[in-house]
Amino acid sequence: MVEKVQKYQFLFSELVKRDFKQKYKRTSLGMVWSILAPLLNLFVLDMVFSAFFRREQEYFTIYLFSGVLIFNFFSESTKGGMASLMANAKIFTKVNVPKYLFLFSKNVSALINFGLTLVLYFIFCLIYKIPFGPHMLTLIFPVICVTLFNVGMGMVLSALFVFFRDVQYLYDVFLTLLRYMSAIFYTVTRFPLQMQRLLLLNPIYAYIKYFRMVVIEQTIPSFEYHVMCLFYALAMLGLGFWFYKKYNHQFLYYV
């Protein structure tokens, strides 16, 4: 796969550039929206929910920002990945190129936007005087896990979307449900311990919690927690590759 990506490196870079141009086409601020959009989202959520949870959670704005950061990355990456095959059907039906390149380009675009927002996240941490130290380097791990998870999820969604167009509407409903199940704007300490553990069955919440543990609680998650996060990422990635391998030759008949 690495050899194929290198072989089609020019096409891949052009796909990433095109994604950015299409996303910010006819906008006055352009890429500034990559930072401004999550910032405005954070402002609204903070204004609404801070009255309820600020007393329960130290650094509530950072707590909230951690959830927004990870969830937005997941949402943008997977929604873009879902439409990647259909949006590029005119290309791969005429030219023999690896179809996963279109999905990867969407994920790279989302990862760049995530990186820009992450810089803003760290600026907020400095403003709220959160201590920085070597433990912050461990945040690389959940970022890698989320990225792999997004690629796998995008593969599954893009394959399903080729055969069933209804997937896009069902996925919007799923994202709404997932947003409420990921404890983005509420604290989980009020829940029984068993319920808190059940929430860890949600991979997105697990990655959000990882960020909060390192940044807010100043602690590094246990080895078992790392294994869990990695398992979610590799399991979804494996499922995604299985979907592509199984249905790869059928895509041409349905696009």
What gap in Å lies between CA 24 and CA 148, rounded to an integer? 25
Give the mean pLDDT of 196-221: 94
Model confidence, pTM: 0.86
pLDDT at 96: 66
Distant-in-sequence, close-in-space partners of 142: CB < 8 Å, separation ≥ 6: 70, 207, 210, 211, 229
Read out DSSP for the chain? -HHHHHHTHHHHHHHHHHHHHHHTTT-SSGGGHHHHHHHHHHHHHHHHHHHHHTTTSTTHHHHHHHHHHHHHHHHHHHHHHHTHHHHTHHHHTTS---THHHHHHHHHHHHHHHHHHHHHHHHHHHHTTPPP-GGGGGGHHHHHHHHHHHHHHHHHHHHHHHH-TTHHHHHHHHHHHHHHHTTSSS-STTS-HHHHHHHTTSHHHHHHHHHHHHHTS--PPPHHHHHHHHHHHHHHHHHHHHHHHHHGGGGGGT-
What angle (nearest 5°) sits at the alpha carbon of residue 108, between those of residues 204 and 199?
Answer: 0
First to last CA, the chain: 24
Percentage of the chain modeled with pLDDT above 90:
42
Q: Predicted confidence band at 235 (pLDDT cuts at 50, 70, 90)?
A: very high
Measuring CA to CA, how many Å separate 164 from each of 29, 159, 170, 185?
35, 9, 10, 33
Cα 214 to the center of its chain, rounded Å: 19
Q: Predicted confidence band at 87 (pLDDT cuts at 50, 70, 90)?
A: confident
Q: pLDDT by residue (tens digit) across 7-35?
A: 666 666 766 666 666 666 666 555 666 67
Q: Predicted confidence band at 57 (pLDDT cuts at 50, 70, 90)?
A: confident
pLDDT at 59: 86
What gap in Å lies between CA 167 and CA 246, rounded to an integer? 19
Q: Predicted confidence band at 140 (pLDDT cuts at 50, 70, 90)?
A: very high
